[in-house]
Amino acid sequence: MKRKTLIFILITVLSFSVLSACNKESDNGVKNPTNVLDPNTELVSSLTIPSPTSELAVVHGRLVDEETGKAPQNAVYLAENITDDKPDLPVYLSFSHVSSPRAEMDENGFFYFKDVPEGQYAILLFVPGGAPIFIDNGKTDDTMDYLWVNAVANETLDMGTIYVP
């Protein structure tokens, strides 16, 4: 009887040892080093920013999801402020997923809009079947508003890094 008990205890101890060894982290404390970015590595765009023309602008930058730190999975468009030149009217944005400027975006969130007609626009993330997500200017006081894009013919506008909800 003692021999069976001793064997049972020995097998139990060995089982726990093997299981705990499987769950141990590697020496550097990282469970999956292939998914970890080196904080000293600067992400670069895989896109080539086109040149503006005498009649059209180029807008570029980087979009980053504020929760995940990755590029948003939505299509990105510009919605035109059609009341920009009428300060007595409220803002009215015009958007069509067919005809509005759509961004080209890479896996790191770098984007560009090419051939943008001159005017004032708001950036939006397109949600099929849902309400579009407009990017705000990030302010938390009474000046909170859309993040405006002022496209000027024959110019390139760098929007920098934009954090989105």
The pLDDT confidence band at residue 157, using thresholds 50, 70 and 90, is very high
| 136 closest CA partner among 100, 164, 95 | 164
Residue 94 falls within a domain, yes or no? yes
**Mean pLDDT (whole number) for 2-27:** 43
The pLDDT confidence band at residue 104, using thresholds 50, 70 and 90, is very high
Tokens of 31: 């469970």
Asked whether residue 66 carries a pLDDT value surpassing 50, the answer given is: yes
| 137 closest CA partner among 149, 150, 125, 146 | 146
Residue 117 falls within a domain, yes or no? yes
Residue 69 falls within a domain, yes or no? yes
**Is residue 47 classed exposed, middle or buried when 0-12, 13-18 and 19+ CB atoms within 10 A define those classes?**
middle
Q: How many domains, in total, are found in the chain?
A: 1
CATH number (domain holding residue 155): 2.60.40.10
Structural domain span for residue 136: 56-164
pTM: 0.71
